[in-house]
Amino acid sequence: MSAIRTRVGDGISLEQGHFYRVNQSPPPSDPAPSPHPPKDALAGEFFEHLETERNVSPRTVRNYRQALHRFRASREDLPPWDKLTADDFRRYLMRLAADGIAKPTVRLHFAALRTFYRFLSERHGLRDNPLKQVQLPKTSRKLPVILNQTQIDELLSAPLRAPKQKQAPPWTPQRDAAILELFYSSGLRLSELAGLDVEHIDPYTESVRVLGKGRKERVVPVGAPALRAIQHYRHAAGTQAGPLFLNKARGRIGVKAIWSMLKKCLAYTSIPLEVSPHKLRHSFATHMLDAGADLRSVQALLGHENLSTTQIYTHVSVERLRTAYAEAHPRA
């Protein structure tokens, strides 16, 4: 594999498996043992690129950092990035499989590695990308599980029917009802909803401004029931600015707290399924398509970068039609 070409004045050189800036002295030929591994300058530059130039979310940077660190830690004798071969990555792939790592997680790890190698090719002139020769295990794509309209109605009314918790603020039921209504009304991701501020809701245009994946902003309509629920909650909690949904300490509610709330509400319904916030997003998309919305509109509402991601919901709608046909048609 070819060596990495460095930029003049700010390059990164490789010697004896160590990374160092060209304006620094190389490491000694026989360095003293250190409890800390040598700094991976190429990886550090890659993470900075993700944060400042591509503007990806902190969660994505953290996942990519963990993926690269896990690979480097998988073997003590791994050569530098520009000396690795396809066999090195195949051995790592087999090790992940032996450790029982799920196929989707394996693909996410290698997505981070492939993005890193594309960066090396574009920024440092790496000519041979070993990952192009590595074939990943295929994953079967399961159709999303969704709630029907009756189940949605039952779940959305659960916060106001459930017994009040003694230590919870009196406005907690109104907050929980507003959260569930907004989930289903606008199809938001969990992190998107938790990150909303009061100013992001516009009752005049009946919309919410959302900061999605890649910190891309989009505007999504909000239905009248959700707007009413948010208004009731804000009036009860006295929220005028800052985080939209509060915890009992009046800070921003966390994603784990929303998960816990949903689980508690589910206990006061007859729904025989495990329901996650993402199932409400699935239900939103499928019900939109069932009602005649076009695929491109649903893609924009969900904030999907690729149409293929949204197309999974068309398969759900077709399956629902087949089931309805089989149950209702006398000659099905």
pLDDT at 313: 62
pLDDT at 283: 85
Q: How far apart, in Å, are the Cα atoms of 49 and each of 52, 110, 119, 126? A: 5, 18, 9, 17
pLDDT at 280: 84
175, 279, 281, 282: the active-site residue: 281
pLDDT at 90: 92
pLDDT at 163: 83
Residue 250 has φ and ψ, to the nearest 5°, of 65, 25
pTM for this one? 0.61
- Closest residue by Cα to residue 260 from 168, 144, 151, 147: 168
pLDDT grade for 110, boundaries at 50, 70 and 90? very high
Residue range 86-109, pLDDT digits in tens: 999 999 999 998 888 888 888 889
The Cα 102–Cα 139 span in angstroms is 10
> With 0-12 CB in 10 A as exposed, 13-18 as middle and 19+ as buried, what is 45?
middle
Instruction: Respond yes or no: is residue 287 known to be catalytic.
Output: no
> With 0-12 CB in 10 A as exposed, 13-18 as middle and 19+ as buried, what is 100?
exposed
| CB-based contact 281:296 (threshold 8 Å) | no
pLDDT at 274: 81
Mean of pLDDT values over 71-82: 88
62, 235, 278, 296: the active-site residue: 278
Cα angle: 297, vertex 302, 305; to 5 degrees: 90
189, 279, 282, 287: the active-site residue: 189
Tell me the domains of the chain and their CATH numbers: 12-25+37-133 (1.10.150.130), 149-328 (1.10.443.10)
Instruction: Respond yes or no: is residue 123 known to be catalytic.
Output: no
64, 92, 184, 313: the active-site residue: 313
pLDDT at 29: 43
Instruction: Respond yes or no: is residue 184 known to be catalytic.
Output: no
pLDDT at 152: 87
**8: pLDDT strictly greater than 50:** no
The Cα 243–Cα 200 span in angstroms is 10
Higher pLDDT, 151 or 294: 151
**156: pLDDT strictly greater than 60:** yes
| CB-based contact 192:281 (threshold 8 Å) | no
Higher pLDDT, 323 or 13: 323
pLDDT grade for 174, boundaries at 50, 70 and 90? very high
pLDDT grade for 197, boundaries at 50, 70 and 90? very high
Higher pLDDT, 304 or 113: 113
pLDDT grade for 173, boundaries at 50, 70 and 90? very high
Q: What percent of the chain has pLDDT over 90?
A: 26
Residue range 275-323, pLDDT digits in tens: 888 888 888 888 887 777 777 777 777 777 767 666 666 665 666 556 6
Residue range 24-52, pLDDT digits in tens: 444 444 444 333 345 688 888 999 998 88
Question: Which of 16-25, 26-35, 110-119, 212-221 has maximum average pLDDT?
Answer: 110-119
Instruction: Respond yes or no: is residue 304 known to be catalytic.
Output: yes
Instruction: Respond yes or no: is residue 213 known to be catalytic.
Output: yes
**19: pLDDT strictly greater than 50:** no
pLDDT grade for 329, boundaries at 50, 70 and 90? low
pLDDT grade for 142, boundaries at 50, 70 and 90? low
pLDDT at 228: 93
Written as one letter, the residue type at 256 is: K
Q: What is the average pLDDT score of the chain?
A: 80
Q: What is the 3-state secondary structure (H, E, C) of the chain?
A: CCCCCCCCCCCEEEECCEEEECCCCCCCCCCCCCCCCCCCHHHHHHHHHHHHCCCCCHHHHHHHHHHHHHHHCCCCCCCCHHHCCHHHHHHHHHHHHHCCCCHHHHHHHHHHHHHHHHHHHHHHCCCCCHHHHCCCCCCCCCCCCCCCHHHHHHHHHHHHHCCCCCCCCCCHHHHHHHHHHHHHHHCCCHHHHHCCEHHHEECCCCEEEEECHHHCEEEEECCHHHHHHHHHHHHHHCCCCCECCECCCCCECCHHHHHHHHHHHHCCCCCCCCCCHHHHHHHHHHHHHHCCCCHHHHHHHHCCCCHHHHHHHHHHHHHHHHHHHHHHCCCC
209, 213, 264, 320: the active-site residue: 213
